Structure 1
Amino acid sequence: MEPDIRIAVDIGGTFTDIEILDAESGAIHQIKTPSTPSDPSVGLLTGIRQASERFGFPMEAVQYLLHGTTIATNAVLERKLPLGAVITTAGFEDVMQIGRHGRTDVYAITLAQPAPLVARRLCFGVTERVNAAGEVTVPLDEAGVRRVAAQIAEAGAKSVAVCLLHAYANPAHERRIGEILSEALPGVAVTLASDISPEIREYERMSTTALNAMLVPIVQRYTDRLAGCLKEELPEAQVYLVQSNGGVAGLAKAGREPARLLLSGPSGGAAAAKRLSATLDEPNLVAVDMGGTSFDVSVVHDGEVAMVNEGEVDGLPVRLPMIEMRTIGAGGGSIAWVDEGGRLRIGPHSAGADPGPACYGKGGTQFTVTDANLLLGRLDGTSFMGGAMPLDPEAARQAAEPIAARLGLTIDQVAAGVIDVANSALATATRLSLFEKGMDPEDFALLSFGGAGGVHACEVAEELGIRRVVFPAHASTLSAWGILWSDIAHDLSATQIGLLSDVAPALSRTAERLVADARALLLEDGVPEAAQRFEWALDLRYAGQAFDLRVPLAGADFSAPGVETATAAFHALHRQRFSYDEPSVPVETVALRLKAVGALAKPTAVSTEAALAAPSGRSRPVHGRHGPLATPVRDRDSIGTTEPVTGPVVVEEPYTSIYLPAGWSILAHASGALVADRLASH
């Protein structure tokens, strides 16, 4: 049998996580290596080479490489984007500058809007008009388009977003502008709104289109470089990039539509949470991924992960389907600082991978969450990263001294304060992710993963009132593990506004068109019909509402019973989200959505059950709620399935650690996860 190795990679801001599945034996391995921010592909290939040597497989045996990346997200957050231009309908050149005037902070005296992606001088109007029904009322002035193209060339723009009014209803004018620009501006990236986001709401559509256009040169450069490297290193591998919707796409599509990669890495963690929900028989999980740079929260409710039609990156709307997720700048590398009022603060700035926290010994001088955990004894400096990267407690102590002097505290008090502030921020983000959906934290178990999460999870759960915490196997690289099981996924949508009962026949016709388009895309990917799956949803609202809810459908059934079922589902979802519904008010449809899934072959993983190891007998002082206490240190494989271990205890494995406070017990689950429960008396 030919060897079949599948590799999933999640490149984070601090570490690159790699999961390796040997399809022949079913064995799964993990490896972690420092990220290389200047060229993420270097860290990726370094990790794969290390895995090849450690686990004994030839590089040419790699058949699939599934890759989550933050390259698009980082380019937006750092605003390291090429010069872009916008072409829109004459009279709407100011849309990017006007934006939306919603107040995210109702108590702020002044409202700080994000800087527009495209300067006003590079927003051009062309004469044309299509109405909301898709009828051309003013023909396209092609000569005017050519004049604008000349101005764009003179300005030196590297990308152009074409976003005309009502192009979702009739894209003919956008398509023609695209043809003219491809002739007049060779080498300039052009994105049409009708291709990337064919939906209502002109600001959100324009923001998404501009983001995509400006990301094309960056992501295509990366994918071209990656493809070149992999052709030599992994000659047999099919390469896919992870999208924000939890599915994967080939390099060509990822290069054309890079805005779909903005939640590339974190979506793997949500996919893993959904898979584990079934394995653990825990239908309600709040999944928290704490890495070196950020803290990501996603929710599994009744075994499903919620999708949203629009997300936000650095205050900029992205109207594309994505897994619903909340991200804050609170990871192990988040920097502690004191504000003007003398308050201890954490993040959002991170020490990253280079130089990293002070204790990494790479020249970092600022005190971070990881430094605090090391000083409190929750991390062992000698066994960090499996012993490959020992930590320096003295460097951490020196980094804490300026903060201690400013606040008049001891070093240990500063470290404990950093952990308290960090835990409070993590709990707040988790609580908001549930409350905004009308859900109670006490109805959920906490799924903790990411390299930094295990030492915080139980204390965060206590603050939330959650009584069960799950620490999955491969916790430190779980996002990569989730990516390992991904499928190809394409999102298609069509705006359809009207009362649901009135537009049902039109929805049926639209569904047929979307299926035809979806099958063509999956055919390009080489997905056989038997491996194709279609998931439907409707965006619905009460007549007169300005917002809508995404309602999943069992199928594209728009008969009278199908409409009745969709309407009932909308009422129920509205009631859950907003605590009321109005069955007497007509329900209006906004858009029909199709997620076309091409299932990739998935070999069966074999969980190798390790023999129960004897307790190590080690202990060290660990700072808990009441100061330092001699605390047992256990290896992960010494936790059994029948005899619970009670806290306080530190549980260590090569790439992460768990701190179990007093009042908690922990057991191993058949899946390989460790499950901690809060004792009844606490």
Structure 2
Amino acid sequence: MDQDIRIAVDIGGTFTDIEILDAASGAIHQIKTPSTPADPSIGLLTGIRQASERFGFPMAAVQYLLHGTTIATNAVLERKLPLGAVVTTAGFEDVMQIGRHGRTDVYAITLAQPEPLVARRFCFGVRERINAAGEITVPLDEDGVRKVAAELARAGVKSVAVCLLHAYANPAHERRIGAILADLLPGVAITLASDISPEIREYERMSTTALNAMLVPIVQRYTDRLAGRLKEELPEAQVYLVQSNGGVSGLAKAGREPARLLLSGPSGGAAAARRLSAELAEPNLVAVDMGGTSFDVSVVHDGEVSMVNEGEVDGLPVRLPMVEMRTIGAGGGSIAWVDEGGRLRIGPHSAGADPGPACYGKGGAKLTVTDANLLLGRLDGASFMGGAMPLDRDAAHRAAREIADRLGLTVDQVAAGVIDVANSALATATRLSLFEKGMDPEDFALLSFGGAGGVHACEVAEELGIRRVIFPAHASTLSAWGILWSDIAHDLGATQIGLFADLAPGLAETAERLVAEAWTLLDEDGVPEAARRVEWAVDLRYAGQAFDLRVALDGTDFSAGGVARATAAFHALHRQRFSYDEPDVPVEIVALRLKAVGGLAKPVPAQGIDAGPGTARRDRPVHGRHGAVATPVRDRDAISRTDPLAGPAIVEEPYTSIYLPAGWTVLTHASGALIADRSASH
């Protein structure tokens, strides 16, 4: 039988994580390789070649490649974007500079707004006007558009965002402007707001459109280069990129709409958490992904992952549906430093993949969280990365000594302090992710994954009051594992503003239009009808509110009963989020939303073998709450299903380690996950 190999890749700031599934046997393998920031596709192909040699499959056997990437996010964070321009309705050229006047930090004396993506001199207005009902009140001045095109050509602009007032209600003028600019500016990337974000709120829509337009040259260059290399090395592979909504899309759509890739990698972890929630019968999970550069938090509540209609990248709004995620700069490579007040701080700067932490021995000289874990005995320098990348303890000691001398502490005290500060930051980010949804951490289990997460998870859980921690199989590459099971997904929406009950009769017609658009996209993807499904939601708010909440629908029942059920769900969600609801206040609809899903085949993975008896492999001194203690070290596959291992203990596997403090016990679950529980006395 010909092999059917499916590969999922999550390219992070420090490591590239790869999961390989043999569809015939159900065997799943994992591999990690250092990322190559200058050209991420090099690290990707290097890892796949290593996997081919190690696990014995020919490159031509790869049928699917599902790829999460940070290329779009990094381009925005580093502001390495091509020269862009905005074309908008005359009189609204200052929208990007004005922004929103909301304060993210209410205690700050001064308000630090993000630098606008597009300079004011590259924001051009054209005479036209469409009202909120979609009626043309001022015809488009096409000669004015041509004059703007001439100015854009003289300026050497590489991308143009076309964002007109109320184009979500009627895109006719945007489409005509796009056609004129495409004719007069060959080779310039042009994005229409009515294509990428046809929604209310002009600033958020313009920001999203400008981001997309400026990312098009970067992402298309990457996808073209990637497609060329893959054609030679993986000739049979169908290639998909992971989107912020947790689904995947083909390279063509990713090149047209790269803004949908801005949370590409982390959304794979959220998808994995949702799948594990069902497998483990744990409906409430707070999923924490700690890699080399960042710490990402997502929430599974009642078996569902939270989605939002708008996210943020470097302070810039992105008005697109995406997995709700909180990210902080705290990973294994986060750098420890001392501020002007003499306080020990961690991150957000990271040592990255090159040179990496001091202990990598690649020229890094600054103390990082990974160095601290090595010094405290929580990591074994000899077995790091399965022994392929031994760590230099002396280099870590030298990096810690520099801070220890400044603070008048011992090296061990500094290393312990780094872990305490890091754990506090991780717990704060996790707590906020739950508190802002009106949820109590004690009602959740902690799902820990990412290469650096295992040595912190139990102590973070203690700080949160969580008594159960789950370490899934393939924890170090779980985001890639989640990507492995992804489906094609397209998000569509229609702005509909008014009282929900009043507009409900007309929503069926709108729903039919959205389904027709969705089917066109799935036709482009080649998805058979039997593999298609749709998910519906509405954005609702109380009359007079400036924000809305997304409410899932079972279908398109817009009868009086259907409206009543959706309204009741909105009241309940509002009460959970904000501790009150107002059932006597009329409810408005803001948008009808559709997610069209094209299911990819899901082979059944082989079941893991029973764990062997839990015998200690060896001991080593590990620093816990009360200094260094002789601590048993065990391989992950030696943890029993029936005889719990009690902490303190270290559990090792090729790509990550787990630190189990005193007061915790761990068992192997039938799924292969390790379940750690905290005793009532701790």
TM-score, normalisation: structure 2:
1.00
Deviation at 1:607, TM superposition (A): 1.9
Aligned to 1:73: 73
CA offset digits 1:112-140 (Å, max 9, x no partner):
10000000000000000000000000000
Matching of residues 307-326 of structure 1 within 5 Å:
307-326=307-326
Aligned to 2:440: 440
- How far apart, in 1, do the equivalents of 2:85 and 2:407 lie? 49
Aligned to 1:271: 271
CA offset digits 1:400-453 (Å, max 9, x no partner):
122111111111111000000000000000000000000000000000000000
Q: What is the letter of the counterpart of residue 259 of structure 1?
A: A
CA contact under 8 A between 2:611 and 2:641: conserved in structure 1? no
- How far apart, in 2, do the equivalents of 1:53 and 1:608 lie? 23
Deviation at 1:614, TM superposition (A): 5.3
- How far apart, in 2, do the equivalents of 1:477 and 1:288 lie? 13
Aligned to 2:261: 261
SS of 2:454's equivalent? helix
Aligned to 2:473: 473
CA contact under 8 A between 1:16 and 1:43: conserved in structure 2? yes
- How far apart, in 1, do the equivalents of 2:175 and 2:617 lie? 70
CA contact under 8 A between 1:336 and 1:344: conserved in structure 2? yes
- How far apart, in 1, do the equivalents of 2:206 and 2:249 lie? 23
Deviation at 1:680, TM superposition (A): 1.5
SS of 2:146's equivalent? helix
Aligned to 1:672: 672
- How far apart, in 1, do the equivalents of 2:570 and 2:36 lie? 46
- How far apart, in 2, do the equivalents of 1:473 and 1:613 lie? 18
Aligned to 1:196: 196
Aligned to 2:217: 217
1:571 aligns to 2:571 (yes or no) = yes
Q: What is the letter of the counterpart of residue 347 of structure 1?
A: G
Aligned to 2:171: 171
- How far apart, in 2, do the equivalents of 1:153 and 1:339 lie? 48
Q: What is the letter of the counterpart of residue 478 of structure 1?
A: L
Aligned to 2:600: 600
- How far apart, in 2, do the equivalents of 1:583 and 1:118 lie? 43
- How far apart, in 1, do the equivalents of 2:617 and 2:445 lie? 30
Deviation at 1:355, TM superposition (A): 0.4
Matching of residues 126-145 of structure 1 within 5 Å:
126-145=126-145
CA contact under 8 A between 1:27 and 1:608: conserved in structure 2? no
Deviation at 1:2, TM superposition (A): 2.1
Aligned to 2:619: 619
CA contact under 8 A between 1:27 and 1:605: conserved in structure 2? yes
Aligned to 2:525: 525
Deviation at 1:610, TM superposition (A): 4.8
Deviation at 1:508, TM superposition (A): 1.1
- How far apart, in 2, do the equivalents of 1:43 and 1:579 lie? 48
**Structure 1 gap segments, 5+ residues each:** none
Aligned to 1:584: 584
1:511 aligns to 2:486 (yes or no) = no
Q: What is the letter of the counterpart of residue 26 of structure 1?
A: G
Deviation at 1:91, TM superposition (A): 0.4
Q: What is the letter of the counterpart of residue 171 of structure 1?
A: P
CA contact under 8 A between 1:60 and 1:236: conserved in structure 2? yes
Aligned to 2:552: 552
SS of 1:455's equivalent? coil
- How far apart, in 2, do the equivalents of 1:156 and 1:345 lie? 43
CA contact under 8 A between 2:441 and 2:465: conserved in structure 1? yes
Aligned to 2:497: 497
1:305 aligns to 2:305 (yes or no) = yes
Deviation at 1:609, TM superposition (A): 0.6
Aligned to 1:416: 416
- How far apart, in 1, do the equivalents of 2:278 and 2:482 lie? 13
- How far apart, in 2, do the equivalents of 1:639 and 1:611 lie? 6
Deviation at 1:75, TM superposition (A): 0.3
Structure 1 range deviating more: 387-396 or 403-412: 403-412
Aligned to 1:380: 380
CA contact under 8 A between 1:7 and 1:20: conserved in structure 2? yes
- How far apart, in 1, do the equivalents of 2:355 and 2:556 lie? 52
CA offset digits 1:208-239 (Å, max 9, x no partner):
00000000000000000000000000000000
Q: What is the letter of the counterpart of residue 51 of structure 1?
A: A
CA RMSD of aligned residues (A): 0.7
- How far apart, in 2, do the equivalents of 1:342 and 1:506 lie? 63
Aligned to 2:50: 50
Aligned to 2:20: 20
SS of 2:491's equivalent? strand
SS of 1:453's equivalent? coil
Q: What is the letter of the counterpart of residue 85 of structure 1?
A: A
- How far apart, in 1, do the equivalents of 2:103 and 2:611 lie? 56
CA offset digits 1:223-279 (Å, max 9, x no partner):
000000000000000000000000000000000000000000000000000000011
- How far apart, in 1, do the equivalents of 2:601 and 2:639 lie? 34
Aligned to 1:99: 99
SS of 2:36's equivalent? coil
SS of 1:454's equivalent? coil
Deviation at 1:611, TM superposition (A): 4.7
Q: What is the letter of the counterpart of residue 542 of structure 2?
A: Y
CA contact under 8 A between 2:611 and 2:637: conserved in structure 1? yes
Deviation at 1:616, TM superposition (A): 4.0
Q: What is the letter of the counterpart of residue 172 of structure 2?
A: A
Deviation at 1:615, TM superposition (A): 2.1
- How far apart, in 2, do the equivalents of 1:115 and 1:436 lie? 27
Q: What is the letter of the counterpart of residue 100 of structure 2?
A: R
Aligned to 1:187: 187
Q: What is the letter of the counterpart of residue 294 of structure 2?
A: S
TM-score, normalisation: structure 1:
1.00
CA offset digits 1:367-413 (Å, max 9, x no partner):
10000000000000000000000000100111112211111111111
CA contact under 8 A between 2:8 and 2:67: conserved in structure 1? yes
Deviation at 1:617, TM superposition (A): 3.4
SS of 2:595's equivalent? strand
- How far apart, in 2, do the equivalents of 1:118 and 1:402 lie? 43
CA contact under 8 A between 2:514 and 2:594: conserved in structure 1? yes
Aligned to 2:360: 360
- How far apart, in 1, do the equivalents of 2:679 and 2:167 lie? 59
SS of 1:432's equivalent? helix
CA offset digits 1:553-576 (Å, max 9, x no partner):
001111111111111110110011
- How far apart, in 2, do the equivalents of 1:177 and 1:556 lie? 35
CA contact under 8 A between 2:617 and 2:635: conserved in structure 1? no
- How far apart, in 1, do the equivalents of 2:562 and 2:614 lie? 59
- How far apart, in 2, do the equivalents of 1:407 and 1:537 lie? 54
Q: What is the letter of the counterpart of residue 59 of structure 2?
A: M
SS of 2:273's equivalent? helix
SS of 1:420's equivalent? helix
Aligned to 1:231: 231
Aligned to 2:657: 657
- How far apart, in 2, do the equivalents of 1:550 and 1:169 lie? 20
Structure 1 range deviating more: 193-202 or 392-401: 392-401
Deviation at 1:613, TM superposition (A): 5.1
**Structure 2 gap segments, 5+ residues each:** none
